[in-house]
Structure 1
Amino acid sequence: MKKLYISTVAAALLFTVSCQHDFENSTEDVVVTSGEANFSKYIALGNSLTAGYRDGALYADGQNESYPSMIAKQMQSAGGGEFKQPLMPDNNGGLLLTLPTGNIQIADTKRVITGFSGGTPTIAFANDNKAATISNTVLTGPFNNMGVPGAKVSHLLAPDYGNVQGILAKTANPYFVRFASSPTTSVIQDFLAQKPTFFSLWIGNNDALLYALAGADDTVEKLTPADQFGTYYNLLVSQIKTSGAKGVIANIPNVTTIPSLTTVPYNPLTATLLGKGDVNVGNATIDQLNSSLYGPLNQILTALGAGDRIKPLSKTTTNPLLIFDESLPNLGNAITTAALASGNPQLMALAPYLGATYGRARQAKSTDLIPLTTSASIGTAATLPPGIPASLSARGVAYPFEDKYIVTSTEATAIDTAINSYNVIIKKAADDNGYAFVDANAKMVELNSASGIQWDGVRYSAKFVTGGAFSLDGVHLTGRGYAIIANEFLKAINTKYKSNLPMISPNSYSGVTFP
């Protein structure tokens, strides 16, 4: 099980405020009209957010509360047709595929809250993280919801994206394998083959998100350059244009503001935490760490004019994580030289290790982002050279967290800059082609505001667990969160095409589930 270093109060999940709400239309007494649009064949293109992914998995109940399925229900009162989704076989999620090497589970089951300890939720995988059903049997389509978890913009154009033989090489997507019309097809080909009369497009999030969740480590995931994003996005929209369908396009929320990157504090280390058995620091105490590591390093770094990088730990206040920052000048050689010259036998013995390990190390700052997944790795043991004390192996405590675990402030700025460029491209594509436009980024800003968003006495925010809008992975929405987004799409459609599709009550859908 994974315990998150956050403070939550279960009772605060939903609380009453005034009866005002942020949406113009109620769901009652609305004369539904299609206006200038034709909703008879609505197809949704996108990624996991379109598919209804939540709690770290794709599962049936989540799919049934996807925002396109909500929109389709409103459209059915204005000439909309059937909306078919490639439903998962159960509510545990997880993908178990038959590959040439045998049956392989390649995706986790959903996350669930199993209890609370001191107000902090304990989050584990459903079904002990064992997917029970082989999931690469091709389903009988075609399907109206063509959201493909994990897809970037370029992937919707890629041939062979549904070929199970390409899973291990990452040229294919296991979720698209389930409903592709053939192994050689692309998402856009299957979209066009259905001859849609109306479409929605919400794609591009993963071009920045996957990079951010990988700690902005480009050896794990790469941030799509803005010019490349524009090339693929405009090509995709030009292909959609050939269908003749009207539609709605959404931009990308700023991924550095989602709960997955804003929940875990930069400074979770305390004297109590250091003494816990699940933190792999042996018998080390703050005094021992200060005398053997933090104190000497601070002295050496101060002499080198970089004393602010690492300071001794406090017994009375919270302490920041120790991280690697590739943007810093490498002081490794200077640290090694100073340690050898110190006359301290322990430092002299550790000198090569100190230089190699702490040359670009620093303590985290409030502007650094700690992914939720990093929480479970605080204090886990890194591999050390022989002869180095085990107390120096604890990640984030005595050993700097590697690049993939942390988004530094410099990296966060680069991600924000890229997303701003993406959103300029998306807005221009919508305007140039006459499509309705959803400013999903503005809605995320609203969710992050102090007042949040409210509907009939219930307030929603971007707070993890208690905010009601985000699921347990901190990236994807709950049913209620997807309903908030669905309303943004409906408003944009109504404005652009003079239709009168009624709004949805987010309170009617599911939020975070407590044990």
Structure 2
Amino acid sequence: MKKYLYTILTVSLIVGCQPEFNDPVNEVDFYTSGQADFSNYVAVGNSLTSGYADNALYLEGQLNSFPSMLAVKFALAGGGDFVQPLVNDNLGGLLANGQQIQANRLVLQVSTNEQNPVPIEGTPTTDIANHLEGNFNNMGIPGAKSFHLLADTYGNIGNLPAANPYFIRIASSNEATVIGDAVAQNPTFFTLWIGNNDILGFATSGGVGVDQTGNLQPSTYGSSDITDPNVFANVYNELLKALTANGAKGAVANIPDVTSIPFFTTVPYNAIPLDEATASTLNQAYAPYNGGLQQAVLFGAITPEEAAQRTITFAAGQNPVVLLDEELTDLTSINPGLTNMRQATSQDLIPLPVSSVLGTLADPSNPSSVIGVGVPLNDSQLLTASEIELVVTAQTAYNTAIKALAQEYELAFVDIQALMNTLAQGGVSFDGGTITNTFGTGGAFSLDGVHPTQRGYAVVANNFINAINATYQADIPMVNPGSYPTIFVK
């Protein structure tokens, strides 16, 4: 069986010429801040605020983070300096006292036959033990969940791995909180985009975490758990209360659907191409399993409907992958060979990293051990319909809270959920181009399939600007998406 890959890229699409645009007037006092005051802008959030892309935080990504783009435009209407906690290089990896703790950023190696992104080679030079002093306007902390912004142990290097290495670099003290350090700067304007990680870890891990709805003690949560919606709403309110205490105005953004990002939309459920002969051979191999299901029906162990759901058949053409589903009835006490197998449906999502192993041999000495065919995908390698429902339920609750609190605090509301859905349904056009959520060639998302490219962040920045202009009667010019790159090859 061949290796099935879905990183379909061409150099011309990646490094093609960038379109040229006419820039807006770049004169101070030509634009107005309206009811807002941009003199001290502070951005609060997670990796999406920091400029994280390609599975790492690297220098060029930070310099072109969406808050940095906003700050450039705010400067035309009274905005001040915008200081970011810059890393040392474009490798993106992190060290802790000389030991690497975060992998380098992903790149495409055109000089090899490897079609999937791989970490760029090199030794990173950013060590979290080298503490940065001072205030930082960009308080985007990669990996942060909502409640982490209130945690007073989050920047203590002695608490690794529970502490956050990115906050350790910049925390004002071992007991500092992210929101405390942000508010201490007395911002006149802020952006807050938080909550993605409260569901994303569960989704990207294939639902191996726990839905903590009903558990109001986030200190007991695991890294891949879903945050209770009441915890989220209460935390979000505390964040806004702190950020607006001195009269600051701001903009908040909601959370996109997991089904709108390439991490979950790139690998199709029917990713197995077969010819007629191979399909026939596989059907013979699975005949005992299918027969065992019918026996289980006769014993009353499962219904005919479940037997049909679990029956595995192949045909010439594209075939659904074989997977393990823990929600199926356990039949191994009847027959050890009747594991919880079934084939994927269009309702299942297969994470992007699975593309690098799908179709390869789990055991190089066993030609029948093809992953996704003879060896089913495991629980961490897919997101089932019921797991997706858990994510969507929590996301809906979070977004309801964000919008309601934006109205209560009279803040600009940025509908990132709608933006990401538009990227998935044909793309977002700008003067001279269009970007979509297609992995690799769409231009909107970086090589990790979760975080935007610099051009994608520019479109995000424009959505913030539109909301800010409308809410505060400001006149801030748009960012030029075409002046920013998409993905890179090496």
TM-score bracket for this pair, using the shorter chain length: 0.7 to 0.9
1:46-65 equivalences under 5 Å are 46-65=45-64
3-state DSSP of counterpart to 2:110: strand
Of all paired residues, the percent bearing the same amino acid is 43
* Offset at residue 390 of structure 1 (A): 4.5
The answer as to whether partners of 2:107 and 2:488 remain within 8 angstroms in 1 is: yes
* Offset at residue 401 of structure 1 (A): 1.8
3-state DSSP of counterpart to 2:346: coil
Distance in 2 (CA, whole Å) between partners of 1:380 and 1:87 is 40
Distance in 2 (CA, whole Å) between partners of 1:191 and 1:410 is 38
Counterpart in the other structure of 1:107? 102
1:32-431 equivalences under 5 Å are 32-98=31-97, 103-115=98-110, 121-127=115-121, 130-168=123-161, 170=162, 172-218=163-209, 221-271=224-274, 289-292=282-285, 294-303=286-295, 304=297, 305=304, 306-314=307-315, 316-334=316-334, 336=335, 352=336, 354-355=337-338, 358=339, 360-378=340-358, 390=366, 393-431=369-407
Could you list the per-position Cα deviations for residues 142-175 of structure 1 after superposition, in whole angstroms to 9, with x for gaps in the alignment? 100000000000000000211111112x1x1001
Normalising by structure 1, report the TM-score. Answer: 0.83
The answer as to whether partners of 1:38 and 1:79 remain within 8 angstroms in 2 is: yes
The answer as to whether partners of 1:15 and 1:459 remain within 8 angstroms in 2 is: no
Distance in 1 (CA, whole Å) between partners of 2:346 and 2:415 is 28
Counterpart in the other structure of 2:452? 477
Which of 462, 467, 470 is the matching residue for 1:495? 470
The answer as to whether partners of 1:116 and 1:122 remain within 8 angstroms in 2 is: no
Distance in 1 (CA, whole Å) between partners of 2:15 and 2:89 is 28
Counterpart in the other structure of 2:218? none
Distance in 1 (CA, whole Å) between partners of 2:90 and 2:475 is 34
* Offset at residue 262 of structure 1 (A): 0.6
Structure 1 regions of 5+ residues with no counterpart? Answer: 273-283, 337-351, 384-388
The answer as to whether partners of 1:260 and 1:372 remain within 8 angstroms in 2 is: yes
3-state DSSP of counterpart to 2:117: strand
Distance in 1 (CA, whole Å) between partners of 2:288 and 2:369 is 17
* Offset at residue 117 of structure 1 (A): 8.8
3-state DSSP of counterpart to 1:109: coil
* Offset at residue 225 of structure 1 (A): 2.1
3-state DSSP of counterpart to 2:267: coil
* Offset at residue 413 of structure 1 (A): 2.0
Structure-2 change in CA distance of 1:6 and 1:114 (3 Å): closer
Distance in 2 (CA, whole Å) between partners of 1:190 and 1:109 is 28
Q: Which range moves more in the overlay, 7-16 or 244-253? A: 7-16
Q: Which range moves more in the overlay, 256-265 or 51-60? A: 256-265
* Offset at residue 3 of structure 1 (A): 8.0
Q: Which range moves more in the overlay, 30-39 or 360-369? A: 30-39
Could you list the per-position Cα deviations for residues 111-165 of structure 1 after superposition, in whole angstroms to 9, with x for gaps in the alignment? 11112899x943211016x434423311122100000000000000000211111
Structure-2 change in CA distance of 1:3 and 1:480 (3 Å): farther
3-state DSSP of counterpart to 2:342: strand
- Partner letter of residue 424 of structure 1? T
Distance in 2 (CA, whole Å) between partners of 1:15 and 1:302 is 56
Structure-2 change in CA distance of 1:6 and 1:59 (3 Å): closer
Distance in 2 (CA, whole Å) between partners of 1:494 and 1:133 is 37
Structure-2 change in CA distance of 1:507 and 1:307 (3 Å): same
1:453 aligns with 2:456: no
Distance in 2 (CA, whole Å) between partners of 1:436 and 1:136 is 37
The answer as to whether partners of 1:3 and 1:123 remain within 8 angstroms in 2 is: no
The answer as to whether partners of 1:6 and 1:265 remain within 8 angstroms in 2 is: no
3-state DSSP of counterpart to 2:96: strand
Structure 2 regions of 5+ residues with no counterpart? Answer: 211-222, 298-303
- Partner letter of residue 378 of structure 2? E
3-state DSSP of counterpart to 1:127: coil
Structure-2 change in CA distance of 1:244 and 1:434 (3 Å): same
Count matched residues: 462
3-state DSSP of counterpart to 1:62: helix
Could you list the per-position Cα deviations for residues 94-124 of structure 1 after superposition, in whole angstroms to 9, with x for gaps in the alignment? 11112xxxx4322111111112899x94321
Distance in 2 (CA, whole Å) between partners of 1:494 and 1:73 is 15
The answer as to whether partners of 2:204 and 2:351 remain within 8 angstroms in 1 is: yes
The answer as to whether partners of 1:3 and 1:122 remain within 8 angstroms in 2 is: no
* Offset at residue 222 of structure 1 (A): 0.7
Structure-2 change in CA distance of 1:91 and 1:378 (3 Å): same
Q: Which range moves more in the overlay, 57-66 or 455-464? A: 455-464
Q: Which range moves more in the overlay, 108-117 or 373-382? A: 373-382
The answer as to whether partners of 2:14 and 2:488 remain within 8 angstroms in 1 is: no
Counterpart in the other structure of 1:348? none
Normalising by structure 2, report the TM-score. Answer: 0.87
Could you list the per-position Cα deviations for residues 278-322 of structure 1 after superposition, in whole angstroms to 9, with x for gaps in the alignment? xxxxxx965654433x222122224432133232333x3122221
The answer as to whether partners of 1:479 and 1:510 remain within 8 angstroms in 2 is: yes
Distance in 1 (CA, whole Å) between partners of 2:40 and 2:87 is 23
Distance in 2 (CA, whole Å) between partners of 1:57 and 1:202 is 18
The answer as to whether partners of 1:6 and 1:264 remain within 8 angstroms in 2 is: no
Counterpart in the other structure of 1:345? none
The answer as to whether partners of 1:261 and 1:372 remain within 8 angstroms in 2 is: yes
- Partner letter of residue 104 of structure 2? T
- Partner letter of residue 313 of structure 1? F
* Offset at residue 36 of structure 1 (A): 1.2
- Partner letter of residue 298 of structure 1? N
The answer as to whether partners of 1:212 and 1:256 remain within 8 angstroms in 2 is: no
The answer as to whether partners of 1:261 and 1:369 remain within 8 angstroms in 2 is: yes
* Offset at residue 231 of structure 1 (A): 1.9
* Offset at residue 251 of structure 1 (A): 0.7
Distance in 2 (CA, whole Å) between partners of 1:97 and 1:380 is 35
The answer as to whether partners of 1:4 and 1:372 remain within 8 angstroms in 2 is: no
Distance in 1 (CA, whole Å) between partners of 2:473 and 2:288 is 69
- Partner letter of residue 475 of structure 1? V
- Partner letter of residue 498 of structure 1? Q
- Partner letter of residue 39 of structure 1? F
